Amino acid sequence: MEGLGYFLDGLAAIAFDGGALFAVGWATLLGIAVGMMPGLTATLGVALLTTLTFRMAPGDAILILICMYVGAIYGGSRSAILLNIPGTPANAASALDGFPLARAGQAGSALVLATSGSTLGTVFGLLALALVAPLLAEFALSFGSFEFFWLAVFGIIISGHLTALDDPIKGWIAGFLGLLLAMVGQEGIHAYQRFSYGWTDLAGGIGLLPALVGAFGFAEVLSVMKARRYDLVREAGRAGLPDLRELWRYKRTLLRSGVLGTLMGLIPGVGEDMGAWTSYAAARRASREKARFGKGAREGLLAAETGNSAAVPGALIPVLVLAVPGSAPAAVLLAALLIHGIRPGPLIMIESPAFVFEVAGMLLFAALAILVLGLALTRPLLSVLRVPRERLMPIVFVLCTVGAFAIASRVFDIWVMLAMGLAGFALREMKYPMAPLVLGIVLGDILDKSFRRGMTLSDGSLEPFLTRPISAVLGLACLVTVLFSFRAVRGGAAVALGRLWPTRRDKSQET
């Protein structure tokens, strides 16, 4: 009941504040526009907007960033449906059925369906945040340095595995490159300089936001300018109100996608794109119309959009209660929380319990904003897709430069942004995922401090890292994830399980 009171107080604080409602409107609209434009991602939008919120009150700044986050993930469905070009990686699954629907003359109804799925997915996720976050925070109080070390390692390994399914080694390489970058500068316990080579600027470390802005901003500029031009969008057709009967017909798909999307958001570094793909695959497996998937299945589009939007609140749960981001945009939001003096972690439910439920209220207003704006501004928003990229990319580059410099007023941060952008572009060209790299930079400090504190507490012994119950479970999970990434191990395990528990088909063949 206390949580419900905090939640209602958070809703009232926004609902009766004209400035807050105006912020919800413009930040969500800006997020939709950023998400719609191919080449601009939710991570880039949140990172650039973070650099403009330094002088704002913490609550106002976080409200704006959450609305940008939610709006960008939703906005990517527009270009996915109308251009067959996902505005963000989270909308790639939406293009499979959204674009065939648009080609069949149902673009307007497809946009309404995507809007409905995104709204309901966000609402489901925020309910999960309000229910799960307090329980997870209570459980996280039993975490010590040993457990946080393994949690950081697990985040890198699972993120690398799930974001590069074809070649997990590339995902792990990207993750550990991020960890190496996080080691540069003064270490957090004794302030000893590492990997600075006598360079004063390097002794201060590599800033998280300049690195993120470079890896996702400048790298995107280079990637978009290299890619072929896309055709201008045609008319979207008529877009009415959501069909409640159709949504009720797919109630199981909505519920399943909401659960799966939230779970994917909870896993460190995985986020919205895996939420969409997992939900889409589960919907196809359970559907009676499997043959229509990929050819214009409305159920497939609804599942993908519900899954990726539910992953947004899901990704915020570990940010708030563990200080571990569930996705790349959530990593930027974690940095913004720290910049504005909000300390996420297991103690958040003790130090500022109302804030978690205020975030849930912010998500609800963001969900309502994408519903209203998505339905009311279908045609005007299409003009965003007609902005020539030759005019857009120089503006993005200027914002990247200004944003990197504004954080600490260091010219060195601009060079960091440029270097990370070139490195990010090169890694993308070689098919390396960026999410593990970002997660490595974020988790590097946690991993480093936790390992050395643990070694101090155990007098140099590694035994507590392996014998404490939660540490042992997390360490085993890391080992199993690595082993089962190899096809030979998976094949051997399948054969062994087949011998232990033969299937009905095997038994019938024996008889």
Average pLDDT of the segment spanning 66-85:
88
Per-residue pLDDT band for 187 (boundaries 50, 70, 90) equals confident
Average pLDDT of the segment spanning 85-101:
84
In terms of average pLDDT, the best of 102-111, 374-383, 492-501 is: 102-111
CB atoms within 10 A of CB 166: 7
In terms of average pLDDT, the best of 66-75, 281-290, 394-403 is: 66-75
Please list, in sequence order, all residues whose beta carbon lies within 8 angstroms of the beta carbon of residue 427, skipping any fewer than 6 positions away. Answer: 174, 434, 437
- The predicted structure's pLDDT at residue 382: 67
- Smallest CA-to-CA distance from 134 within 291, 301, 359, 340 is with 359
Q: Residue 457 pLDDT > 70, yes or no?
A: yes
Q: How far apart are CA 496 and CA 483, in angstroms?
A: 15
- The predicted structure's pLDDT at residue 392: 75
Which tens digit of pLDDT belongs to each residue from 329-385?
A: 888 898 889 888 888 888 888 888 889 899 999 999 999 999 999 888 777 766 766
Contact 427, 160 (CB under 8 A): no
- What DSSP string runs through 216-265? IIIHHHHHHHHSPPPPPP----------HHHHHHTHHHHHHHHHHHHHHH
Q: Residue 239 pLDDT > 70, yes or no?
A: no
Instruction: Look at the block and give the residue holding tokens 């209220």.
Output: 361
- What DSSP string runs through 338-401? HHTT---STTHHHH-HHHHHHHHHHHHHHHHHHHHHHHHSHHHHHGGGGS-HHHHHHHHHHHHH
- The predicted structure's pLDDT at residue 21: 93
- The predicted structure's pLDDT at residue 259: 93
- Its pTM surpasses 0.75: yes
- The predicted structure's pLDDT at residue 3: 67
- 3-state helix, strand, coil split of the chain in percent (to 5) is 75, 0, 25
What token pair was written down for 164? 């590069």
Pick the range with the lowest mean pLDDT from 59-73, 251-265, 354-368, 430-444: 430-444
Q: Residue 470 pLDDT > 70, yes or no?
A: yes
486 DSSP assignment: S
In terms of average pLDDT, the best of 373-382, 436-445, 461-470, 489-498 is: 461-470
- The predicted structure's pLDDT at residue 62: 93
Of the chain, the end-to-end C-alpha distance in Å amounts to 59
- Smallest CA-to-CA distance from 361 within 91, 100, 44, 6 is with 6
